[in-house]
Amino acid sequence: MKHERTTLRRATERGYSLTEVMVAITLSVFLLMGLFSILQQTRKTSTTTTGLSQLQDDERVAMTIITDTIQAAGYVPEANGSGESQFVVDTGGGFATQGQIISARAYSTSNGVATGDRLTMRYVLGTNDTTLMCDGEQNTGAENVFKEIFEIDVATGTGPNAGSYQLVCVPADGKAAVPIVNNVVSLTFQFGVNSTAATSSTPSNQVGPTSLSSTTGSGCPGDSWVATAGMQPNDWTNVCAVKVDLVFINPLYKPAGQPQPTPGQNQYITFERVIGLLNKAGVNVTNSTQT
């Protein structure tokens, strides 16, 4: 009787067979593969969302600062505008005509890479003026003519952005360039000008035929867009609007850790904005065709 009880106990304690173990492992592997696939897709979605959010923030910040600065070109603290006489000829700074408030030229970075254009604007700030410069500072000195510059250059130093391209501004003569946003590879401009009768003697605030005035002349509204390389000396005092093109690196083209570019994604994304100058903004800034 004792032998029979031992045999019965061993029969009831029998473990899993090899086949059962293999089936369980196989099912576990499939479940883990599904779990890792979901995790990978979640991380990819998070990376995509973060990249697009950063791109939108960078574009918004860059265009806001550029817009505010361009709209301030020609600003003078005196209500009657008598400060315009302070915009004297400055050939070294790119201002060859009395009263000229905006200038641009082709630009290459410190390592010789062409990144589009450099834009320079002039305006007057009064003593302790509250008007902000592109770096967010205010003038705490005497009334003076300020020049602000926008360009693309290479980030220096040893930080995480070292070697990458970034949009920078120079808030005034003698000041260092201030980084605004990263991953911008090109900055170009077109200028809305009246190309039919502009002369060097045309006042910078001359108004041409518009729906509000029948006065003839050069000035605004502009009739064509002219790229920086095509601008003539007489055009610079007749700029009505500025078209800005900022080219950013597409964060979805090749995200960090991805060995190959994403199919169907462009390497770069271009943002464009048309900005009216200080005393020429409105519906009649330009009647030229958008390109």
Residue identified by tokens 């064509």 is 224
Stretches where the chain sits below pLDDT 50 are: 1, 198, 200-218, 281-291
pLDDT of residue 196: 64
Which residue(s) pair with 281 in the sheet? none
Q: Which residues contact 237 (CB under 8 A, 6 or more apart)?
A: 97, 99, 100, 198, 200, 202, 203, 204
Q: How far apart are CA 14 and CA 10, in angstroms?
A: 7
Q: How far apart are CA 181 and CA 114, in angstroms?
A: 18
Nearest to 279 by CA among 223, 251, 227, 241: 241
Instruction: Provide the pLDDT for residue 130.
Output: 81
Classify 126 as helix, strand or coil.
coil
Helix, strand or coil, per DSSP, at residue 289: coil
How high is the pLDDT of residue 195? 67
Compute, in degrees rounded to 10, the torsion defined by CA atoms 70, 76, 82, 87.
Answer: -50
Domains of the chain, residue spans: 43-276
CA distance 275 to 285: 9
Residue 247 has a pLDDT of 95
What is the tens place of the pLDDT at every residue in 86-110?
A: 888 898 888 988 888 999 999 998 7
CB atoms under 10 Å from CB of 197, counted, come to 14
255-260 contacts at long range (C-beta below 8 A, 24 or more positions apart) = 255/47, 255/48, 255/51, 256/47
Structure tokens at 156: 């220096």
How confident is the model over 68-91, as pLDDT tens digits? Answer: 999 888 888 876 555 667 888 898
> Quick one: which H or E segment has residue 104?
strand 102-108
Query: What is the reported pLDDT for 193?
Result: 83
| Predicted TM-score of the model (pTM) | 0.75
Q: What is the pLDDT of residues 183-201, one digit of tens each?
A: 999 999 999 887 665 454 4
